[in-house]
Amino acid sequence: MAKVVAVTGNEAVAEALRQVNPDVCGIYPITPQTDMMQRYASFINNGKVDTEAVLVESEHSSMSACIGASAAGGRVVTATSSTGLALMWEMLHIASGDRLPIIMPVVNRALSAPLNIHGDHSDAMGARDTGWIQIWSENGQEAYDNTIQAFRIGEHMDIRLPAMVCMDGFIISHSIERMEYLEDAEVKKFVGEFKNLHPLLDLDKPKSYGPLILTDLFHEYKRAQHEVMTKVKGVVLEVAGEFEKLSGRKYGLFESYRLEDADIALVILNSAAGTSKDVVDAFRDRGIKAGLLKPRLFRPFPYEEVAAALKNTKAVCVMDRADSFGGYGPLFMEVSSALYQLRNRPALINKIYGLGGRDYLPSHAELVLNELDGIAKGGKINVFKEYIGVRE
Amino acid sequence: MASGLTLKELSKQEDRFTHGHRMCAGCGAPIVVKMVLLATEGPVIAANATGCLEVSSCISEYTAWKIPWIHTAFENAAATLSGVETMYRSLKKRGRIDKDVKFIAFGGDGGTYDIGFQSLSGAMERGHDMIYVCYDNGAYMNTGIQRSSATPLGADTTTCPAGDVVPGKLRSRKNLTKIMAAHNIPYAAQASPSHWMDLIKKVQKAHSYQGPKFLNIISPCNRGWRSKTNDAITLSRLAVNTCYWPLYEIDNGVTKITSTPKEKLPIADFMKPQGRFKHVFAPGNEWLLEKIQQEVDAEWEKLQKEAKCG
Ligand SMILES: Cc1ncc(C[n+]2csc(CCOP(=O)(O)OP(=O)(O)O)c2C)c(N)n1
Ligand code: SF4
Ligand SMILES: [Mg+2]
């Protein structure tokens, strides 16, 4: 039986972790994640879980310790934000290269400089090429649900990859929402016992982790990583199906919102999708066929499915809460790659919004949808990539 | 297992770091690793920092390690092993493992004194049950003999080359053994492969304590030291007998010199067989040799005083 609660995103994810009760967790403070693992530490010290924590001296060591713990053989979690994720960068590649299913909530925050503690997606977008699965969440409920599902996805015997669960810093991590918790026993059963694969702690069959591999086999090793990524989509959907049976909440590779007959559409991640959906509704009320696509699985990116979902639109704007300076926004690059395969493609523009926690307002969505409406009706594209919500 | 402390007894034991590794002939590091593992009874898991030892001991499908072994990166052997050890404690607590396991990290001086310093300090402070072994060859050898904070004063390396203006390294070594002892860990010691009995005893003693332990072991590198390939043991003995590398331990805060040279030799005896110090003996650089000797003497004096105080 679900329990209805009013909690913050951080609280909800900490609760999901408590219900899973992993073997080892790495803990290190960084705003806006701090409060999540702080809560977890208090679960440990109050006997609510029996996880062993490693109270590391940096995120680099946190990920290193998580890698050691995961290779040793067991379920491992940590959480981070922003520069903490950036400091882990080297080790993120090693976690995925060693095929270790570490689960890591990432509370998205801007990267320095200038120093800024608020939400944007620069951190996780910077980690998109590290070989981790990335699952993005609009609100606290999704962050909670995605965290629970991430264990099943990353630890799946056909996958064995680390996974990040992303949610917006402050906007989600620190706002109280109504949501539903599953029962402890339900989560435990859903996630299941951790299954080991080549654990270091199998003392009778010693293994060497982390060899030097040069030109002879490195390329093949990396192709294997590519190949396993192609299987992730199927597992995500399978796990989502089971989760729906348990919770009644439906998840896919992305969410399509009023997209079936849409002429214009926004593609937008995480919390800003919520704001945008209201504006889409308002446009629909005015008779304009607007829709929205909210990616959930960003790595691996579901190119074919996204293309299919957008193929009948006339104009699409990809909204990025991160920039690849000198290039388009990171989400734009994915969506345009997806659409390229279509014979008839919608017009495509890119807006950068909300960096460093800048508010994303309904008026911003309105402006963009109006622009798309003009383009869809035969208007010209003035500029492909543009910052919106800028103080001039 | 390692009970007898005679060479004969030890030679009967199975090597847990075995043939097939690709370290240079005459390298000190594999000797150090073999001795440390010979002195280790029962199941053991090792972590290794990137460096000569690591790149030469586990390549593609081949490994020289007959024990569970993990390498992840350069600066984090201590953090990586702290994760392995934490998982072990967690699974033991949860009844999923019953054996007693020991944990040893191996890192070069670059991976220990420099880039891995923070990770090492953190692991020691957190109290993980492990021995961290630094095989100190006094430079970043794997990348081609670059200076580290363990490189001795005066040495020629590729980043502090002995040139016409600057005669090699002008800074002194970091005293890492004492820094580690200052973490108030139960045991920190310096050892040398030349004094194998002393080394093995130190490893055994370290294992006898619960918690973090640190061993700094001198490890001659004939490539970087520009010495003969059959000189590893001779040079490590000279390092001890010149008091460049005193053998001592800090056992629960009590400093003890474990082997005092019968006759303290001049530092030049250690330096002369090594090409990296050749320029120090050239006319005009007498001051440098003098400075090096003074430093060795001062450090030795200080250590003796500390040992007297206990
Ligand atoms: C983060 C990072 N920086 C630099 C390197 C390059 N690197 C690999 S091994 C090494 C030198 C290792 O020196 P040391 O720890 O003294 O071990 P040795 O090779 O001398 O045995 C360096 C600089 C690296 N692998 N990772
Ligand atoms: S370069 Fe030096 S440390 Fe490296 S393997 Fe050769 S002798 Fe050993
Ligand atoms: Mg070295």
Give pLDDT, residue B11: 83
Assess whether A190 and A66 both reside in one domain: yes
Domain boundary among the residues A215, A231, A247 is at A247
Interchain contact, B60 vs A211, CB within 8 Å: yes
Q: Which of A117, A53, A51 is nearest to A84 (CA)?
A: A117
Domain boundary among the residues A197, A221, A247 is at A247
B122 touches chain A (CB under 8 A): yes
Domain boundary among the residues A247, A273, A301 is at A247
Cα of B272 from ligand 3 centre, angstroms: 20
Q: With cut-offs at 50, 70 and 90, classify the pLDDT of residue A390.
A: very high
Give pLDDT, residue B1: 42
CATH number for A41: 3.40.50.970
User: What pLDDT tens digit does each residue of chain B (310 aa) get?
Assistant: 445 578 888 888 889 999 899 999 999 999 999 999 999 999 999 999 999 999 999 999 999 999 999 999 999 999 999 999 999 999 999 999 999 999 999 999 999 999 999 999 999 999 999 999 999 999 999 999 999 999 999 999 999 999 999 999 999 999 999 999 999 999 999 999 999 999 999 999 999 999 999 999 999 999 999 999 999 999 999 999 999 999 999 999 999 999 999 999 999 999 999 999 999 999 999 999 999 999 999 999 999 999 998 6
Interchain contact, B101 vs A74, CB within 8 Å: no
Assess whether A199 and A266 both reside in one domain: no
CATH number for A285: 3.40.50.920
Cα of B139 from ligand 1 centre, angstroms: 9
CB B205 within 8 A of CB B214: no
pLDDT tens digit sequence for A175-192: 999 999 999 999 999 999
Decide if A178 is inside a domain: yes
Give pLDDT, residue B139: 98
Assess whether A234 and A358 both reside in one domain: no
B17 touches chain A (CB under 8 A): no
Assess whether A258 and A164 both reside in one domain: no
Ligand 1: which residue has its CA nearest to atom 25? B74
Interchain contact, A208 vs B81, CB within 8 Å: no
Domain residue limits, chain B = 7-309
Decide if A63 is inside a domain: yes
Give pLDDT, residue B9: 85
Q: Is A323 a residue whose pLDDT tops 80? A: yes
Q: Burial level of A269, CB count in 10 A (0-12/13-18/19+)? A: buried
Assess whether A322 and A359 both reside in one domain: yes
Size of interface A-B (CB pairs under 8 A): 165
Q: Which ligand is nearest to the CA of B56?
A: 2
Among chain A residues, the shortest Cα distance to B72 is held by: A210
Give pLDDT, residue B2: 45
Whole-number percent of chain A with pLDDT over 90: 99
Decide if A311 is inside a domain: yes
Which atom of ligand 1 is the closest one to the Cα of B111? 15
Bridge-partner residues for B134, per DSSP? B107, B216
| Domain boundaries, position A11 | 3-247
Whole-angstrom distance, CA of residue B132 vs CA of residue B135: 10
Assess whether A232 and A153 both reside in one domain: yes
Assess whether A242 and A332 both reside in one domain: no
Summary mean pLDDT of chain A? 98
The count of structural domains within chain A is: 2
Assess whether A239 and A259 both reside in one domain: no
Assess whether A49 and A194 both reside in one domain: yes
For domain B7-309, give the fold: Rossmann fold (3.40.50)
Decide if A392 is inside a domain: no
pLDDT tens digit sequence for A357-387: 999 999 999 999 999 999 999 999 999 999 9
Q: Is the CB of residue B116 below 6 angstroms from any atom belonging to ligand 1?
A: no
The pTM assigned to this predicted structure is 0.98
Chain centroid, CA A270 distance in Å:
8
Q: With cut-offs at 50, 70 and 90, classify the pLDDT of residue A2.
A: confident
Lining residues, ligand 2, CB within 6 Å: B 23-24, 27, 29, 52, 56, 137, 141, 221-224
Assess whether A236 and A301 both reside in one domain: no
Assess whether A56 and A155 both reside in one domain: yes
Assess whether A55 and A190 both reside in one domain: yes
Whole-angstrom distance, CA of residue B77 vs CA of residue B79: 6
